[in-house]
Amino acid sequence: MPWISACEADEIDAEDVMRFDHDGHTYALYRSPDDKYYATDGLCTHEQVHLCDGLVMDNIIECPKHNGRFDYTTGAPKGAPVCVALKTYNVKVEAGMVMIEIA
Amino acid sequence: MTMSDIQNHTRDYSLVGESTRRAVETGLASAQWYHSEVPRKVMKELMQRRDGPAIRDTIIWLGLLVASGAGGVYFWGSWTCVPFFFVYGVLYGSACDSRWHECGHGTAFRTRWMNDVVYQIASFMVFRNPVSWRWSHARHHTDTVIVGRDPEIAFMRPPNLFVGILHYIGLLDVVASFKVMARNAFGILTPSEKSYIPESEWPKAIFAARIHMAIYLAAAIASLLMWSILPLMLIGLPRFYGCWHMFLTGLLQHGGLAEDVIDHRLNSRTVYMNPISRWIYWNMNYHVEHHMFPMVPYHALPRLHELIKDDLPEPNPSMWHAYVEMVKVLLRQRRDPEYYLRRTLPATARPYREEFHADDAVPAASSIA
């Protein structure tokens, strides 16, 4: 699987999320409060809303439209109205760049 | 417009009918909505959850509820109980709606279980199935006042004002809610309910309905055993005699405004209100702001309003002003169901998003009354 350079590591604030588009697909990149990086699909599984406008609290991303919650470290749904898990992607930081493994 | 014309313009507000098919086909359903520009850092700050304001408000709410209820019981049998039940009724039958709403969004408290506990209590008070209505309200936010998609449209055109007035004593609303709850308790969900509640949630909706009905049955039995209406004055009946404030504020949210648009400035109303109503209503008078940014907790809505008000129609300065404006439109809609209030934007605002309504040739009121 190819690793894609998504952004500089310090472009994402701690406990925040950023949108990354590549090859017609949209992803959400997260930086946790303890400075670890994660990636998921960028759209909520409930109504296809961009998660990059949502709120990150600890390991939770909350959708900006209906407040559905996911654990962005695993993709697991954590609160209505979301029922379907988010797809997650491997992430690493190399030379100050956040890299995402595109499946 | 003749009666025949009005009948021809009568819309299908069901969630599984012709309007539903049209909304999906035209892209009105699940569309991208307009929102005012707010820098990400500012929005992130506005979205931050806090326990403090909602804990304070909940202690006051439940404290006043217990105190007024106790006063009502103590003075039961004399006219002195009336002011106590007046307060108890509003706290039970009206404040429950805003608590249900904000905790349903999960924005009232930072701590999840606190949202969930207050949501369950408020759902019981407001006589709503806590499972069904969570999904119903999600749909209301996805497809706000989209005919055939939104299950929470209060004024269907042509509006029936007699029904609107009956809302203030909860008569139709509670009776309808009771029927739904009873049907759910018997394990039955309608096709409309099934259209917005995921199948995995159906058993939860039925279980919740059975719990609610069991508590109401217990209160009714207590009343029979005591041969007194007092138990029902405390549980159940406040939803009739105390719901007037919920509808006083709630009917203003979208009444008389546009249908089938994708710009909340066209179909939602922000009204400046007195501090007591704002506390009961948990700041949902900032309704355009709430729909644009549902992640912003109730206590941050006044700050959000200050940030984006130059991009919004001028708010109504009072509930009275808003009612005069809305009732004028509703009266005209009885003859002309296509009519709606199209409010003037300030010069600083970006234009309305017109994708789905630019070709609407029907005349509309062009500014605030």
Cis-peptide, bond into residue A64, ω within 30° of zero: no
Closest CB to B44: pick one of A16, A46, A47.
A16
Comparing alpha-carbon positions, the chain A residue that sits nearest to B112 is: A79
Which whole number is the average pLDDT over B331-359? Answer: 85
Is pLDDT at A6 greater than 50 in this prediction? yes
Q: How confident is the model at residue B165 (pLDDT cuts 50, 70, 90)?
A: confident
Q: How far apart are CA A8 and CA B27, in angstroms?
A: 37
Residue B244, pLDDT above cutoff 80: yes
- pLDDT digit string, tens, across residues B63-89: 999 999 999 999 999 999 999 999 999
CB contacts under 8 A, B 78-117 vs A, are 105-107, 110, 112
Mean pLDDT of chain A: 92
Residue contacts between A and B (CB atoms, under 8 Å): 48
Interval B326-355 mean pLDDT: 91
Interface of B with A in 230-289 (CB under 8 A): none
- Nearest chain B Cα to A50, which residue? B32
**Do the chains contact at A46 and B138, CB–CB below 8 Å?**
yes
**Each residue of B299-340: pLDDT tens digit?**
999 999 999 999 999 999 999 999 999 999 999 999 999 999
What is the number of alpha carbons within 13 Å of residue B148 lying toward its C-beta? 20
> pTM of this prediction?
0.89
Q: How far apart are CA B271 and CA B302, in angstroms?
A: 12
Question: Which of B38, B40, B131, B201 has the most A C-beta neighbours within 10 Å, making it the best mutation to test the interface with A?
Answer: B40
Task: Read off the pLDDT band of B362 (50, 70, 90).
Answer: very low
Name the band, by pLDDT with cuts 50, 70 and 90, for residue B10.
low
CATH of domain A3-101: 2.102.10.10
Interface probe, candidates B44, B107, B199, chain A, greatest A C-beta count within 10 A: B44
What's the Cα-to-Cα distance from B193 to each of B85, B92, B199, rounded to whole Å? Answer: 35, 26, 10
Task: Give per-residue pLDDT as tens, B114-164.
Answer: 999 999 999 999 999 999 888 888 889 989 999 999 888 988 999 988 888
CA-derived radius of gyration, chain A: 12
Predicted pLDDT at B169: 84
Rounded mean pLDDT of B18-27?
A: 88
Write down the domain spans for chain A: 3-101
Interface touch B105/A67, C-beta < 8 Å: yes
Residue B355's pLDDT is 67
Q: Which residues of A touch B141 (CB under 8 A)?
A: 65-66
Q: What is the mean pLDDT of residues A41-62?
A: 92
By C-alpha distance, which of B308, B297, B248 is closest to B39?
B308
Residue written as tokens 């029927």?
B179
